[in-house]
Amino acid sequence: MAFLFASLGDVGVKRLIQSLRTLAWLMAFIAGAQIFIASLQGTVDSALLARVAVAMAKLATLVLLAELVTITTPLQALLAAIEPVLRPLKRFGLSSQRLALGMGLLIRMATLQRGTWVQLQQAYRARGVSRPGMRLLAPSVRAGLRQADQMAQALNARTVSTSPVGFRPNSQG
């Protein structure tokens, strides 16, 4: 896996390191919760620890592969790949195009949010705060809401400009 990220150069290596740092916290929490719950039942043994290790390896592999795909694939190509898979959901009245767009935006916004978090960390460290921790939460949420609002405005403008004559998504009646 590291070889795939390294093949992208410095950008790939930096993204791998950032992803591993973020992923380490998530994996520690999940593994700790599994072991804690098993300890309450008195079933902590080597077999459980092996299952937890395998689960964490699978989780890390999937997250890193998803990160690799988002780095190397433009959003339009992701949408084009996701949309045909979602077509069977039309039977239930769901739009595969809208679902694909939603999934693509979710992937994009998660990447943007992580980038914002890293920038905020760097800004705090530049000010001499070595471990900003929870201080990043409020500015990160504020930046995420701002990004979501800008995305919504762009989608609204695109919908209005490409829709048939007379159709306005916010119109009454």
Measure Cα distances from 76 to 83, 100, 123 in Å.
Answer: 11, 10, 32
Percentage of the chain lying above the pLDDT 90 cut: 15
Residue whose entry in the numeric block shows the structure tokens 């410095």: 10
User: With 80 as the cut, is the pLDDT of residue 161 above it?
Assistant: no
User: With 60 as the cut, is the pLDDT of residue 131 above it?
Assistant: yes
Q: How far apart are the first and last CA of the chain?
A: 53
pLDDT at 171: 47
Cα separation, 64 vs 67, in Å, equals: 5
Query: Quick one: pLDDT band at residue 160, thresholds 50, 70, 90?
Result: low
Q: Which one-letter amino acid corresponds to residue 47? A: A
pLDDT at 50: 93
pLDDT in tens, 11-23: 888 888 888 888 8
User: With 60 as the cut, is the pLDDT of residue 68 above it?
Assistant: yes
Query: Quick one: pLDDT band at residue 173, thresholds 50, 70, 90?
Result: very low
Burial class (CB in 10 A: 0-12, 13-18, 19+), 15: buried
Mean pLDDT of 156-173: 57
DSSP H/E element including 17: helix 10-41
User: With 90 as the cut, is the pLDDT of residue 54 above it?
Assistant: yes
- Give this prediction's pTM: 0.59
